Structure 1
Amino acid sequence: MAIELDRPAPDFSAPATDNQTLALADFAGQYLVLYFYPRDNTPGCTQEGEAFRDLYPKFQAEGAEIVGVSRDSVRKHENFRAKHEFPFALISDADETMCQDYDVLKEKKLYGRQHIGIERSTFIIGPDGVLRRMWRDVKVPDHADAVLSAVHNLNTECTATD
């Protein structure tokens, strides 16, 4: 099933940091920035998480919550989160259910060998549970700023139509 803009976002319920199970319904009434990344403690994934961390107060001011998702274990996520002081939760998708539902598993090459990995992707889900924006094959520099700008613009559009 392809994921499409302006359609309900795929539902989820998955283990996360702080001994939580997070579900899409937990974010009803606010924007959810759901970002998928390949692995904890790698340079690009660390930079991306730090960029979202640094802008976190601005996301909150826009009524948005941030959640990171990878296939790493909750224990690895706890260490990664603590080391870099991420104020948002990280979901462990070890069984790849969310990765499949959000269509982020892609064939990749590393050192000449092919494998299936997470394509760095970000989704903005509206307060109504509808997918409003998505980015595929994300390049880390300036990405968090672009996502914040998109959330701001969505808020502005909502205010203009109310």
Structure 2
Amino acid sequence: MPSVELNHTVPAFEAPATGDQTVQLSALRGKHVVLYFYPKDNTPGCTTEGQDFRDRMDQFEALDTVIFGISRDGLRAHENFRAKHEFPFHLISDKDETLCKLFDVIRLKKLYGKEYMGIDRSTFLIDRHGILRKEWRGVKVNGHADEVLDAVRGL
């Protein structure tokens, strides 16, 4: 499957999520969709990013926007992470990296001198018609949720 392109329709997908859900992109037509990819549940940056989206959820909902966090963690870890931080949005488990590949977010990373393939923190904004309108790659957490909110307002 080719990766997504700006100003093109995002291919239909379905993926398992918290709350015993299967998220289907096609079922979200008519709403704006924010997909934010993050490396790992319960790590400092990922926690802060989730909390920042959580704290702005009312504003996103007022703009008819749904949010999903995505990582390779399993559903049990996601359920615990979501409950612990009271995230009002669902988390998608992408253990097989289907969405990571579709959105091309897997990158070579280094930590303490070791190299590994991991998720490059990235966010994607899909409009009501299923078209990718904005992407952020190599995201720095501070101020990011506000930047995404401003982009939704601009649609």
Q: Percent identical across equivalent pairs?
A: 57
Question: Superposition pairs for residues 28-107 of structure 1, below 5 Å?
Answer: 28-107=29-108
Q: What is the distance in 2 between the residues matched to 1:19 and 1:13?
A: 13
Match in the other structure for 2:154: 153
Q: What is the distance in 2 between the residues matched to 1:101 and 1:2?
A: 4
Letter in 1 for 2:112: Y
The gaps in structure 2 that reach 5 residues or longer are none
Match in the other structure for 1:135: 136
Q: What is the distance in 2 between the residues matched to 1:66 and 1:26?
A: 14
Work out the number of aligned pairs and report it.
154
TM score, norm. by length of structure 1: 0.93
CA RMSD of aligned residues (A): 0.7
Letter in 2 for 1:152: R
Q: What is the distance in 2 between the residues matched to 1:146 and 1:83?
A: 25
TM score, norm. by length of structure 2: 0.97
The gaps in structure 1 that reach 5 residues or longer are 155-162
Letter in 1 for 2:87: F
Deviation at 1:11, TM superposition (A): 2.3
Deviation at 1:152, TM superposition (A): 0.3
Deviation at 1:24, TM superposition (A): 0.5
Q: What is the distance in 1 between the residues matched to 2:12 and 2:98?
A: 10
